[in-house]
Amino acid sequence: MSEQTRFLLNESDLPKFWYNVMADSPVAPNPVLRPDTLEPVTPDFLSVLFPMELIMQEVSTEQYIEIPEELRKIYKLYRPPPLLPARRLEKALGTPAHIYYKYEGVSPAGSHKPNTAIAQAFYNKVGGTKALTTETGAGQWGSALAMACKMFDLDLEVYMVKVSYNQKPYRRIFMQTFGAQVYASPTGRTNYGRSLLEQDPDNPGSLGIAISEAVEVAATSGGAKKYSLGSVLNHVLMHQSVIGEEALKQMDMAGEYPDVVIGCTGGGSNFAGIAYPFLRENLKNGQRTRLLAVEPSASPSLTKGTFTFDYGDTAKMGPVVKMHTLGHGFVPPSIHAGGLRYHGMAPSMSAFVDAGLIDAVAVPQKATFEAAIQFAHAEGIVPAPESSHAIRAAIEEALDAKAKDEKRVILFNLSGHGNFDMAAYDSYLSGKLEDYEYPAEDVEAAMKELPQVNLPA
């Protein structure tokens, strides 16, 4: 093993292509359905929301799609980020395992989200879009898209889940600094938001609701605004593949190959970003790396949800897809501080978990913050609460290797820093954070509202 502390690639090593796992997928893709008719979508339905170039990427089965030169130049502002061996953490754990992390927190917005935000802003600009709408939960996605929209001179409206809007004023200000208009969702600006506020003026919001508002604004704008999503969709996951492609080269520089690759999962994009290039190596080149997705036990779509067709948003305005879901009406508790609150999961990831190509575990939030602090003490980075789910699982793997006296090579994606997440850290440090049991009854109720899909066999 090399003694080097950081494995750095040159600018010229930045991938020239995104990897599209759909080309190598051993499971047939399921159709994407219209929410009104539950019939397969056509490009015209999607073109209300997305520019044509992204729609083509969404349905593409090409193995590689070229990254335009103009976009690569912007990626080079922060890519390729380093791969670091977590030697101090290994020492603190006393493990024979070798732990590596790919650090996406070095991007200007502090997470992996710019990898797709910049690409989506670029293709919207090329397609003639003037303004975008989006949702954001904890604010990382909104921050990335605000930065990217400014680079391409696009207006942006962000519907931010109300509980996060109140807990994270600095994320809101970050977005506003880049000229975005940020609203606490549910808002009085949409029919759907108004209907929810009439029932409950204190509705804390959810990602599903914020998506519905952003979709409603774009869909009723007469073509003036398009919508942008920060996870879940095939094209978004594909844009993130630069993470894994670089990590493959960096692991090679380190002279090791991972036995396990770990990422946290909200909608699946950072996990897919690091893991799908390794999945390709498993499928095509005989590697046997275990791919491990980590979710919070308060919102456990992969480990406790059902793999079925469901609406992507609460108001049933966006497409219906087959995914692991807790039900589109499921609202995770506001006390859950660890992010990752979406009710569903990327369809490709859901299918791969179902097919046994990817494993999934759920971790409780106190253990997640404990791992975050242990990591910060050893490595000096305060991780995003979302990413800390991956750290928890990486530590468990390292301790398991120790118990079995086994050398194991562990790679995880550190998808962002937590410098704007001090309110969540404060809750943990002051002992206010509680573990929240999986709300089985709420999920059972939400599952009664699934769409009745009857596709021809």
C-beta closer to ligand PLP: residue 270 or 325: 270
Question: What is the rounded (10 degree) CA torsion for 38, 39, 45, 46?
Answer: 80
- Rule CB under 6 A: is residue 190 a binding residue for ligand PLP? no
Q: How many residues bind ligand PLP (CB under 6 A)?
A: 21
Task: Judge whether 75 and 115 are in contact, CB under 8 Å.
Answer: yes
For 76-91, b/e burial (b = at least 16 CB within 10 A) is eebbbbebbbbbebbe
Task: Judge whether 292 and 262 are in contact, CB under 8 Å.
Answer: yes
Provide the minimum distance between the beta carbon of 310 and ligand PLP in the complex, in angstroms, as a whole number: 17
The DSSP annotation for 51-114 comes to: -HHHHHHHH---SEEEPPHHHHHHHTTTPSPPEEE-HHHHHHHT-SSEEEEEEGGGSTTSBSTH
Q: Which range touches ligand PLP (CB under 6 A), out of 5-13, 15-23, 259-267, 325-333?
A: 259-267
Peptide bond connecting 383 to the previous residue in cis, omega within 30 degrees of 0:
no
Q: Which two tokens stand for residue 411?
A: 């790679």
C-beta closer to ligand PLP: residue 47 or 166: 166
Q: Which residues pair with 410 in a beta bridge?
A: 99, 260
- State which of residues 339, 344, 364, 439 lies at the interface with ligand PLP (CB under 6 A): 339
Provide the minimum distance between the beta carbon of 293 and ligand PLP in the complex, in angstroms, as a whole number: 9
C-beta closer to ligand PLP: residue 154 or 272: 272
- State which of residues 25, 115, 124, 140 lies at the interface with ligand PLP (CB under 6 A): 140
- State which of residues 269, 301, 314, 350 lies at the interface with ligand PLP (CB under 6 A): 269
Per-residue binding letters, 366-385, with ligand PLP (x by CB under 6 A):
------------------x-
Provide the minimum distance between the beta carbon of 428 and ligand PLP in the complex, in angstroms, as a whole number: 17
Other C-beta atoms lying within 10 Å of the C-beta of residue 10? 7
- State which of residues 416, 439, 446, 447 lies at the interface with ligand PLP (CB under 6 A): 416
Provide the minimum distance between the beta carbon of 230 and ligand PLP in the complex, in angstroms, as a whole number: 6
Provide the minimum distance between the beta carbon of 273 and ligand PLP in the complex, in angstroms, as a whole number: 7
Task: Judge whether 236 and 200 are in contact, CB under 8 Å.
Answer: no
Provide the minimum distance between the beta carbon of 407 and ligand PLP in the complex, in angstroms, as a whole number: 29
Q: Which range touches ligand PLP (CB under 6 A), out of 13-21, 28-36, 183-191, 268-276?
A: 268-276
Q: Which residues pair with 308 in a beta bridge?
A: 323
Site for ligand PLP in 62-101 (CB under 6 A): none
Provide the minimum distance between the beta carbon of 183 and ligand PLP in the complex, in angstroms, as a whole number: 18
List the end-to-end C-alpha distance of the chain, in Å, as a whole number.
Answer: 52
Provide the minimum distance between the beta carbon of 144 and ligand PLP in the complex, in angstroms, as a whole number: 9
For 428-443, b/e burial (b = at least 16 CB within 10 A) is beeeebeebebbeebb
Question: Footprint of ligand PLP on this chain (CB under 6 A)?
Answer: 111, 137-138, 140-141, 231, 264-271, 339-340, 384, 386-387, 415-416
